[in-house]
Amino acid sequence: MIEHAERLATSAERELEALVGVSSPSGDRAGAEECVALASAFMPPEAEIERVTCSTADHAPDLVGRLRGSGRRRLMLLGHLDTVIPHEQHRPLEREGDRLTGSGAVDMKGGVALGLGVMRELAATPERYAEVAVLLVNDEEWRTAPFAHAERFADFDACLCFEAGERTADGDEAVIVARKAAGTLVVGAHGRSAHSGSAPHKGRSALLALARVAQQVAGASDPEGPQRLTAVPTVLRSGHAFNVVPPDGELICDLRADGLDAFAPLLEALPEQIDDVRLETTMLRAWPGMDSRAATAVPLAAAAAALGRPLVASGRGGASDASHLAAAGIAVTIDGLGPRGGGAHAPHEWVSRESLRSRAEVALAVAGALLE
């Protein structure tokens, strides 16, 4: 299939422009529905299209497309249509040299375009598979609810996820076969207000208590340790007026490690009270890690042979829905098959036009190796 990479890349650039032209921040039903309509139109005519309930309440239903074949193996192609850029900052696609700049271009509408292109190429050879399914969700960027689709696809043979691609420092193509577990820790503080000028001693500062908790969380980071734990306070909200002791507040921290079990000692060590300020600790989300290095070694070697160039199995700290499918039982899960680019979640988000071709080759080679 690799010989069709040029055709796939040409279509992917056009479809990327159409998808990026729609502003689709997480939770916006109108934007999600427009993206779903485009993605449905980009699927091969043989595809069976289904809308399934999104993991997150009040979001537009997710999209599933299926191809049925006469072969043995079942392959999933995974992506998301939602972005983080608000409507007022949305940028349609702009071309400048090799850069294709626009909201959601690299995370991950460029990957969606490549994944749909792979589906169209596979439609021509139904004898190679029993089923190919595309799952495009509308809530990946801000989901805190459990992932709703793991059980539905747990018996598939392999999963390909089209988050952004990358190259190694030596310039070799890389895919992602290991990801850290990700957690969002929330600490609420409940103290007592008081006039900060005439009676500060009567107050109990939620702000100061949360500041101490933030230092404790940050001190737990051990990126070189056995679980490579990073614990980073990211948001602190407290106080309502410049002359009042803050009676309440909230601290949010980002946790990453090789496995979810690495978070437990940190959570257990956090106090329930500091200086008469009551503290409540919860995990807003907990996404599993992924390690499919052993299971993917053989197909990646076959894909590299088909490419005629190295294909490196790499890891990444960022979270992805691929981890949910790997945890559900799809041992052969490969991520990072999308185009290369940068500026994810920022107004200057972009993908490399050249990478649409090179990553199309990678995706087709990997899909072909998995179906052999």
- The percent of residues above 90 in pLDDT, for the chain, comes to 98
Q: What is the per-residue pLDDT across 68-93, written as a single tens digit (0 to 9) for each?
A: 999 999 999 999 999 999 999 999 99
Q: What is the per-residue pLDDT across 230-277, written as a single tens digit (0 to 9) for each?
A: 999 999 999 999 999 999 999 999 999 999 999 999 999 999 999 999
Q: Is 123 found in the same domain as 38?
A: yes
Domain count, the chain: 2
Say if CB 218 and CB 236 are below 8 A apart: no
CATH number at residue 62: 3.40.630.10
Residue 216, domain extent? 181-285
Q: Is 258 found in the same domain as 158?
A: no
Say if CB 264 and CB 293 are below 8 A apart: no
Give the domain-ending residue among 285, 306, 336: 285
Q: Is 76 found in the same domain as 10?
A: yes
Q: What is the pLDDT of residue 63?
A: 98
Q: Is 240 found in the same domain as 140?
A: no
Q: Is 169 found in the same domain as 47?
A: yes
Say if CB 117 and CB 11 are below 8 A apart: yes
Q: What is the per-residue pLDDT across 12-33, written as a single tens digit (0 to 9) for each?
A: 999 999 999 999 999 999 999 9
CATH number at residue 211: 3.30.70.360
Q: Is 202 found in the same domain as 313?
A: no
Q: What is the pLDDT of residue 1?
A: 78
Give the domain-ending residue among 285, 306, 339: 285
Q: Is 171 found in the same domain as 131?
A: yes
Q: Is 248 found in the same domain as 124?
A: no
Q: What is the per-residue pLDDT across 351-368, written as a single tens digit (0 to 9) for each?
A: 999 999 999 999 999 999
Q: What is the pLDDT of residue 3?
A: 83
What average pLDDT is seen over the chain? 97
Give the domain-ending residue among 285, 320, 353: 285
Q: Report, as an integer, the average pLDDT of 190-216.
A: 97
Q: What is the pLDDT of residue 38?
A: 98
Q: Is 246 found in the same domain as 160?
A: no
Q: Is 136 found in the same domain as 55?
A: yes
Q: Report, as an integer, the average pLDDT of 120-128.
A: 97
Q: Is 52 found in the same domain as 11?
A: yes
Q: Is 84 found in the same domain as 23?
A: yes
